[in-house]
Structure 1
């Protein structure tokens, strides 16, 4: 049994989508980040960094934190959604951690500085918006002749989907003219979003 500690955020959605895709039984524990529950002593024992998502694999009492690490751990545990061949794994890892280190943080920072920061700083807002759009264009270009990001459907698609689908919608609401030509990316979002496991992975978090 997997214990999933999460909230309804793009990073949190990665873990629930992954668990639905691989069919492992899991128990969902809500972490209310608005109330600061991620800083509670019990949660810090699972993730010392105080961020969601995190899991505990009760088969081995192994804790795993950081969304990218969770995807890799679960893929290796069941032997799904991660290629065996070194070359193919490298491509999946490249795009998975491209998201973890780039796309997610850039969109997240743009959201913070444009929506949540007590002081609106044009330099910060524009810097993170420009980089978010640049990265979305990178993925759009990569997907021109591909159905999925790294060959077959994989953790690279799961890692990117919540940030791309949410990020496109978020940016479109404020700057529609800057993301109107990302046709390959829009096609990929539709294909991934229509997967049954993806829909279930999102649905289980809607009440959180």
Structure 2
């Protein structure tokens, strides 16, 4: 086999690997969504609620609230109650409490998740502390509301939802952005 033929085969193989890697990069998002749906993790909440204010008084859904800190977050973070029984279509509110026990200002961002994932599309947050970054001064404690509606179209077999928040310390990210801004 000639050296030119061997070089050409190598180039074709390398190009095939590059094309395969590029295709795999595009396939990651759908693969991730399928895996999340299959395992019931990382449920993304629905967008704005388009339904009217018709409340299904005949049906009750238990919404459980979980509050956890990311590994490097030192704040105290919790829901005011462990759960709430709601009627689909009704507007509801839960308060979360955050406390900065440190001696320096800190910035945090909450990331929500709804389980089971098939119910996430039926959970509408109308107001949430997770929409904005939270800045707490040393020793400051705040109550942060989340207002939500469980859609009347929630599948009948779903009787329990879990709204979980993970709180991340983004103070260092905020400082580096401020330093790079002219």
Tell me which interval the TM-score lies in, with the shorter structure as reference length.
under 0.3
Q: Which of 1 and 2 has greater Rg?
A: 2
Q: TM-score, normalised by structure 1?
A: 0.20
Larger strand share, 1 or 2: 2
Q: TM-score, normalised by structure 2?
A: 0.22
